[in-house]
Chain A
Amino acid sequence: MIKKILKCGIAGYGYMGEIRRAVIERHAESIELVGIFDTNDALCSKIQGTKTFRTLDELLAQGIEILFVCTPNCFSPEISIKAMALGIHVFCEKPPGRDVHDIKNIIAHEKNGVKLMFGFNHRFHPGIVKAKVIVDSGRFGRIINLRGLYGKSGGISFKKSWRNNREISGGGILLDQGIHMLDLFSHFCGDFEDVKCFTNDDFWKFAVEDNAFVILQNRKGQSALCHSSATFWKHTFRLDITMEEGYMTVEGLLSKSGSYGREKLIVANRQFEDATHAVGNPSEEVTYFDRDLSWDLEVEEFVRCILENQPVVTSSSGDALRVMEIIERAYEDAQKTSKALQSFKS
């Protein structure tokens, strides 16, 4: 790879901004942090070891080549567009805005030569990487269906989070966390044309959903089922992949808190009456993973695309649009169902 140190900045220094800074500092051989933009004075005064800026323009004027956009959803499109207009490569956290209109707007400003990637880091989790290798090898034939459970418990501070303010976020748990699972569905199976969904907000009673049940089907006949939840009192990540000749399960997720449990991949061959094991209870191989390199790997991939002038093909704007279209259609379907239910009750 070409050796060059790319200057970069971070817009927004919340939870994700801190994570991105740590990744940048671990990759000092290829990227250098020039400064951080955040409008929160108290937060900026605590940042040490790099310059801080109260306006985006000040940061963009520092000659940066990459901008990491780590702001709440309502600000991401405008900031990304502004940076790209100046020829700055953009790495934007998910979700890519609040709705399909936002991501389409970003894509409309995606200029030739400027790289744009989104933070779908779950694609780079070790269990997912290995599962994808096995699917692509064709060892178990084609995927028949997928089932994903992804949820967290919320908590006391959950009520105050901007993520539950529709004006800022654009949606609830499905857009915030479920988006990763839906992105993984697309990662494994491509497009899904049919989308059905139920949502509810019965427990937290925010203006956004705290549970979403999404059912998908595509023209290849593959089906997928996703339950995204803010009422999983035990934090859960589980992706089941059923194939013609076997199955895989990615369970647990290496994370900062460790609350999703140890990440593991279960792999097994399908077994019928002709095999030595009992039907429905095949022997399994379980791989346990101890290191989450997902944040590093996705940034390395982004830097590689810039230095080698290669198109972004993983977590690209096309991937972002595809998953936002699924979510928008899911919300539309949930609304229709809800109206129908209300009408039925009345």
Chain B
Amino acid sequence: MKNIVISDDYNAVDLKPSALLKRYIELTQEDVRQMLADPKKLQDCACPACASKDKKAAFTKFSLSYQECSNCRTLYVSPRPDDKTLNEYYQKSSARSFWRDELSKATDKKRKEKIVKPRFQWILESTREHLATAKTWIDVNTTQYSYVDAMADADIFTKKILLNPYLRVEQSRYPHLEIIQQPWWEQSLADSCDVMTLFEVVDHTSDVDGLLTAASRMLKKGGLCFLTAILSSGFDVQVLWDKADNLYPPDRLNCLTVEGFKALFAKHGFECLEFSTPGILDVEIVAKAYENNPDLSISRFVRDLIESQDEQTKRSFQEFLQSACMSSYGRILIRKKG
């Protein structure tokens, strides 16, 4: 297994401008209240990572309760809505429309340069490294139009499938993509894909076991699956916990730890080829949260880091978080055992 450490120079505001992000969260809160918070439509669940039922209450956001798994420390919402309800939410919510039509467009250039391009480079090079014969690529539920453009350009694959019920993508605009506007659980593809991408999909899936079972079914033996996710074992989530701005339902219904992910992959017969946390924003996110709320309860060490240390020290600390897999942005490559 390998992990990577990256130094780069963008900041959180480049990707999520404060005013737009604030508006998106407000809309999400309102949508959750209207569409997801009905207690009759929520079901208790075990830890989505390790299946342990042993948990303790963590905090509540938008009237939904986060639990912390006592076994693998995964943070997850329980009781929770099922995937059909979430599917409806993502198709109809005004927050998602705002994301697609405004936030995403406003940050598109920076996202393409700093996220989409390196991510596709990762996919193409890792595929050449581990499965040079790969022909078929399926992406499940991406939330970004710029991903669709990048996918259409990836010419090492002869067949590219976009499995996505949310994005409004016209087949005529992408003649080289096979667009299936269905949710993953209605899809019957089996042993047909070499490569799968699940970008932050685990985070907002209700039935994570079902998702991994479907992924395993769709992939051929030896097939690769690229995932990204926000990790609750990451620095900014651990420090800010319930005050973390990037932690809210349903986008972060699950926030697994490194251990949680490893347990999940082992359960579903996947071998982990890479587990990296190449996030570069943890320290900045904590600093920003403290700047916005000086009464925030944080340890003396962290306060000293963000208030008194110079930029080079902060950068070195962020690199340490990456090398120790302690950043909250996870980038993972797994292989279906053959």
Distance in Å: Cβ of A283 to nearest Cβ of chain B: 4
Contact B121 A139 (CB under 8 A): yes
- The B-contacting residues of A in range 282-324, CB under 8 angstroms, are 283-291
Distance in Å: Cβ of A276 to nearest Cβ of chain B: 5
Contact B128 A288 (CB under 8 A): no
CA distance A87 to B273 in the complex (A): 38
- The B-contacting residues of A in range 190-210, CB under 8 angstroms, are none
Does A126 touch B at the CB level, under 8 Å? yes
- The B-contacting residues of A in range 139-165, CB under 8 angstroms, are 139
Nearest residue, chain A, Cβ from B9: A276
Does B82 touch A at the CB level, under 8 Å? no
CA distance A2 to B277 in the complex (A): 39
CA distance A284 to B278 in the complex (A): 12
Given contacts A139-B121, A288-B323, contact A133 B129 (CB under 8 A): yes
Does A342 touch B at the CB level, under 8 Å? no
Contact B4 A133 (CB under 8 A): no
Does B38 touch A at the CB level, under 8 Å? no
CA distance A283 to B10 in the complex (A): 12
CA distance A288 to B274 in the complex (A): 9
Question: For the complex, would chain A's binding face be called helix, strand, loop or mixed by DSSP majority?
Answer: mixed
How many residue pairs, one in A and one in B, have C-beta atoms under 8 Å apart? 43
CA distance A289 to B129 in the complex (A): 13
Distance in Å: Cβ of B152 to nearest Cβ of chain A: 19
Set of chain B residues within 8 Å of A126, measured between Cβ atoms: 2
Does B7 touch A at the CB level, under 8 Å? yes
Set of chain A residues within 8 Å of B278, measured between Cβ atoms: 285
Contact of B4 among A134, A276, A285 (CB under 8 A): A285
Given contacts A139-B121, A288-B323, contact A130 B5 (CB under 8 A): no
Which of A133, A134, A277, A291 has the most chain B CB within a 10 Å cutoff? A133
Does A129 touch B at the CB level, under 8 Å? yes
Set of chain A residues within 8 Å of B3, measured between Cβ atoms: 287-288
Given contacts A134-B125, A137-B128, contact A289 B2 (CB under 8 A): yes
Does A136 touch B at the CB level, under 8 Å? yes
Contact A283 B128 (CB under 8 A): no
Given contacts A139-B121, A276-B9, A277-B9, contact A129 B129 (CB under 8 A): yes
Contact B9 A283 (CB under 8 A): yes
- The B-contacting residues of A in range 108-140, CB under 8 angstroms, are 126, 129-130, 133-134, 136-137, 139
Which of B1, B2, B278, B323 has the most chain A CB within a 10 Å cutoff? B2
Set of chain A residues within 8 Å of B5, measured between Cβ atoms: 285-286, 288
- The A-contacting residues of B in range 1-23, CB under 8 angstroms, are 1-9
CA distance A165 to B3 in the complex (A): 42
Nearest residue, chain A, Cβ from B127: A133
Set of chain A residues within 8 Å of B134, measured between Cβ atoms: none
Set of chain A residues within 8 Å of B4, measured between Cβ atoms: 285-288
Set of chain A residues within 8 Å of B1, measured between Cβ atoms: 290-291
Set of chain B residues within 8 Å of A290, measured between Cβ atoms: 1-2
CA distance A126 to B5 in the complex (A): 16
Q: Which A residues are within 8 Å of any B CB, using their own CB? A: 126, 129-130, 133-134, 136-137, 139, 276-277, 283-291
Task: Jot down 28 A-B pairs with beta carbons below 8 A, ordered by A.
Answer: A126-B2, A129-B129, A130-B125, A133-B125, A133-B128, A133-B129, A136-B128, A137-B128, A139-B121, A276-B9, A283-B6, A283-B7, A283-B8, A284-B6, A284-B7, A285-B278, A286-B4, A286-B5, A286-B323, A287-B3, A287-B4, A288-B2, A288-B4, A288-B5, A289-B2, A290-B1, A290-B2, A291-B1
